[in-house]
Amino acid sequence: MQQREEKQLEFALDNIIQRVNDLKTSIASMIMKVENEYENLNWPNFLDNYALISGQLTALSKVLSHDKCPVLRNLTVLPLLLSPERDEQLAQSTEGRVTTFAHDLVPDYLRTKLEPMAETKMLQIEHKAGNLTYENAQKQVAAYQKVVVHVWDIVNKAREEWEVESSSRGNTQQNSSVADTHLLVAAVGMGKGLKMGTSPNGNPTSGGMMVAPQNRPGGSGGSVPIPPNTQSVPMNKAPSTIKTNIKSANQIHPYGR
Amino acid sequence: MPRIFFIKVGQNYIIIMSAAPGSAMDSLSAALKCNIIPNQEYLLQGSVLDQYVEVLLHRLRGLCDNVDSGPESFHDHELSFALRAQGSGAAPMVLPLRVRRALDSPESPWQLRYVGQQELGDKNRPTVVRSSIDMACSSTIVEFLTELGCRMDFEYIARGYMFRKGRMKITVSKIFKMGNMNTKPGEGVEPISQSYLVELSVLAPTGQDAIAEDMRIFAEQLRPLVQLEKIDYKRLGNMS
């Protein structure tokens, strides 16, 4: 009878160790990937890895809850000998993570209860939960439900709006016009469309005529620049509304045109 | 009596106005040799439609350095003068000079600027490069240039916002045509298009081409809102 139980325990432990080892290697490879291949790691690949790990976790918990598995909780691990010396066998079996079986590590590794602080906190919370009346609990659940549904609605609505916006942006968004760019650049760079006296039908202009300052209010003192009133080539087409005092500027300076 | 000199640098000219010509020319050429004068402008241009300018300003606020102070606004009047001289060839030589003044801050000095022929370069060069010299001057510059024989070619009003990102300058401006002759500058003006002009530029000494790459990356961040590109003026000139 006892032999059979022992056999069962051994078998279960082997099984568990194997699963845990599988899990360990896949977690290690995942960490490897994240650390070394983060440049070309794609999302589907990452999710595949994650799915593998999650599958292994499920397998492990299945093994643990199998009815043939003995109840591990009922077994006791007893530290018989603590030693500050380095234990080669232990180091090897833990891949160098634990090298001594000493008093400062053992309480951490063989812990079966929560830390005292966490334990008192848990107790408090359990006590509080136990004291709640059924109606009160029901009320709170309903209130939380309401809040969660509300947030869910908000998120859904935002997603819908966002999707509509992004799909419409993909199709029709036109933020700038090439024609306008060219128009503006030509205007600022070469004065296209800005030159005074250019008639709408695009008559070429000949510069060289000066307008007397009195035609511009506030033009006294010379601080306001005086644009030359360029006139269209046939002289009789000059705008007659502006009284011009024309003098030949050509003779004033040596540079001609 | 100040004297004026034109120094040819590559395809472009530099103008010196000086009372003591010899020393000024010497120190200027020395400075040019040492590459300490920021005389190259790296430039990318684009535009954004009026209704999206707020989006662009918002994005620039996020990308640029002067976040806390908010965007700097400007309202400038620019006059482009041309000095025409009979060159040796058949075509007359035209020397463009630009005068700019801030309408929103009349006490600021005016700016005189020479902008040279732009070089597009090959496909590998991310930006347009052109030589550019600018200096502060007083309001009498217009009379001075007129006396010199310069004629005003055209003028416009630019109103908009300026952003900084390291050495890069980003301007978003509306360009207005001057109204008729009887209005003061700043009044009775009309926008020339339904878009804002967007310019990304850096002034740097010759040979600092690495900055162009930074500009390309920055321009990339503004897509698809604005397409900042190298724009060929010569091709624009042929367009009707």
Cα distances (angstroms) measured from residue B101 to each of B5, B53, B154, B180, B185: 24, 24, 15, 19, 11
Q: Which of A248, A226, A207, A247 is closest to B181 using CA atoms? A: A226
Q: Can you give the pLDDT at residue A4? A: 84
DSSP 8-state code for residue A250? G
Average pLDDT over residues A126-144: 89
Write out the two tokens for B17: 């106005």
Res B85 pLDDT > 60:
yes
Write out the two tokens for A112: 């079966």
What single string gives the DSSP state of each residue in A59-99? HHHHHHH-TTS--GGG---------SSB-HHHHHHTTTS--
Contact B74, B162 (CB under 8 A): yes
Could you read off the pLDDT of B139-194 as tens digits, one per residue?
899 998 888 888 888 889 999 999 988 889 999 999 998 866 555 555 667 888 88
Interface test with B, best of A176, A206, A210, A251 (most B CBs within 10 A): A176
| Other Cβ atoms within 10 Å of B182 Cβ, number | 12
**Does residue A170 sit at the B interface (CB-CB below 8 Å)?**
no
Can you tell me which residue has the tokens 């004297």?
B3
Shortest CA gap B34–chain A (Å): 30
From the candidate CATH numbers 1.20.950, 2.60.40, 3.30.160, 1.20.58, the one assigned to the domain spanning A1-75:
1.20.58
Average pLDDT over residues A151-176: 80
- Residue in A190, A193, A226 nearest the CB of B233: A190
Can you tell me which residue has the tokens 């002289």?
A235
**Does residue B84 sit at the A interface (CB-CB below 8 Å)?**
yes
Cα(A173)–Cα(B160) distance, integer angstroms: 24
Question: Angle, to 10 degrees, between the axis of helix B210-222 and the axis of helix B53-63?
Answer: 130
Contact B182 A190 (CB under 8 A): no
Write out the two tokens for A29: 């490879």
Give SS3 for A154: helix
Residues of B in contact with A222 (CB under 8 A): 140, 142-143
Phi-psi region of B66 (alpha: psi -120 to 50; beta: other; left: phi over 0): beta
Cα of first residue to Cα of last residue in chain A, in angstroms, is 121
Res B3 pLDDT > 80:
no
- Residue in B47, B152, B236 nearest the CB of A228: B152
Contacts of A114 (CB under 8 A, 6+ apart): A122
**Residue of higher predicted confidence among A180 and B7:** A180
Residues of A in contact with B147 (CB under 8 A): 253
Could you read off the pLDDT of A72-102 as tens digits, one per residue?
777 777 878 888 888 888 888 887 788 888 8
Q: Which of B82, B85, B86 is closest to B96 using CA atoms? A: B82
Alpha carbon of residue A137 to chain centroid: 38
Res B216 pLDDT > 70:
yes
Domain boundaries, chain A: 1-75, 77-112, 114-164
**Residue of higher predicted confidence among B128 and A175:** B128
Cα(A183)–Cα(A189) distance, integer angstroms: 10
Domains of chain B: 1-34 (no CATH), 35-238 (2.40.320.10)
